[in-house]
Amino acid sequence: MKRILHILQRLVLVAVVAASVSSCYLTKIKDLDISSFGIKYVVPSSVNALSGVLLLGVDNPSISFTVTSLDGVIMCDGQPLVYVDAGEVPVQRRSIQVYEVPCTVTLAEGVSYLDVLVKVSRRTPSLAGFTANANLHVKLKNGKGTTLTFKDLDLSQFTQ
How many Å apart are CA 84 and CA 104, to the nearest integer? 6
Respond yes or no on whether the N-terminal peptide bond of residue 125 is cis (omega within 30° of 0). yes
Q: Are 73 and 84 in contact (CB under 8 A)?
A: yes
Measure the CA–CA gap between 136 and 84, rounded to whole angstroms. 12
pLDDT of res. 5? 61
Q: In angstroms, rounded to a whole number, what is the distance separating the alpha carbons of residues 34 and 122?
A: 28
pLDDT in tens, 12-48: 655 555 544 444 445 555 466 666 656 688 788 988 9
pLDDT of residue 83: 92
Entry pTM: 0.70
- List pLDDT tens digits, range 67-94: 888 888 989 999 999 998 988 889 888 8
